[in-house]
Amino acid sequence: MSEIFKHHLEKFIEVNDTEFLDILAFFQVVKVRKKENLLLEGQICKSNYFVLNGCLRKFFVNEKGTEQTTEFAIENWWITDNIAYENQQASEFYIQAVENSEILVIDHHSQEKLLAEFPKMERYFRFIFQRAYAASQMRIKYLYSFSKEDFYHQLNSKYPDFVQRIPQYLIASFLGFTPEYLSEIRNKKRS
């Protein structure tokens, strides 16, 4: 499994085998079960998660008691509550496994030490945050530019494997509508 992370790092920075083993020592490999929570609302966000295999999601519970998914992370993606993690404060989100997953976990203190010992990891994380920010910008644009139906079709056309992989009620939660409305949209397309 560590080769997955090494390959991912090498997309952004150069690391030799010795450096990689030293970098890997800052992480823990953790297996999580489907529906297991890694972070609960109100907990101090102490960790950043890299998905080796499986899928995680970040969500909050709105004032109506409905779960609103804001982000997914599949293989080679990172996920955390960035604001709470950086400031070591209580999170307003949950992070939960959508599937049985194997992840790398690094806590805030270890990540700071990692960055001090391996400055090239600063560059790596800069690339990761730039990509995450860009994805967030596009999601916001889609929320304002497309109807809910068009937003679903856009997601489905760009990421069909992802849409097939994730339970439909979670896709609906991510898009901001009910599972019933998603069923209507999907049935319309089949007609």
Does residue 188 form part of some domain? no
Q: What is the CATH number of the domain that holds 49?
A: 2.60.120.10
Write down the pTM of the prediction: 0.91
Predicted pLDDT at 190:
59
In one letter, which amino acid is 128? I
In one letter, which amino acid is 74? I
Does residue 123 form part of some domain? no
- Domain limits for position 87: 2-117
DSSP string, the chain: -HHHHHHHHHTTS---HHHHHHHHTT-EEEEE-TT-EEE-TTSB--EEEEEEES-EEEEEE-TTS-EEEEEEE-TT-EE--HHHHHHT-B-S-EEEESSSEEEEEEEHHHHHHHHHH-THHHHHHHHHHHHHHHHHHHHHHHHHHS-HHHHHHHHHHH-HHHHHHS-HHHHHHHHTS-HHHHHHHHHHHH-
- In sequence order, the β-bridge partners of residue 67 are 61
Does residue 167 form part of some domain? no
Does residue 168 form part of some domain? no
Q: Per-residue pLDDT tens for 18-48?
A: 999 999 999 999 999 999 999 999 999 999 9
Q: What percent of the chain is predicted at pLDDT more than 70? A: 98
pLDDT of 191 over the 60 cut: no
**Token pair belonging to 6:** 């090494």
Contacts of 8 (CB under 8 A, 6+ apart): 50, 76
Mean pLDDT, residues 168-191: 82
User: Structurally, how many domains does the chain consist of?
Assistant: 1
Predicted pLDDT at 67:
93
pLDDT-derived band at 5, boundaries 50, 70, 90: very high
pLDDT-derived band at 189, boundaries 50, 70, 90: low
Query: Higher-confidence residue: 177 or 127?
Result: 127
Does residue 28 form part of some domain? yes
Instruction: Please tell me the number of Cα atoms within 13 Å of 80 on its side-chain side.
Output: 25
Distance of CA 2 to the CA centre of its chain: 19
Does residue 148 form part of some domain? no
Does residue 80 form part of some domain? yes
Does residue 156 form part of some domain? no
Contacts of 78 (CB under 8 A, 6+ apart): 48, 49, 50, 51, 128, 132
**Token pair belonging to 95:** 């992070």
Sign of CA dihedral 181, 182, 186, 187: negative
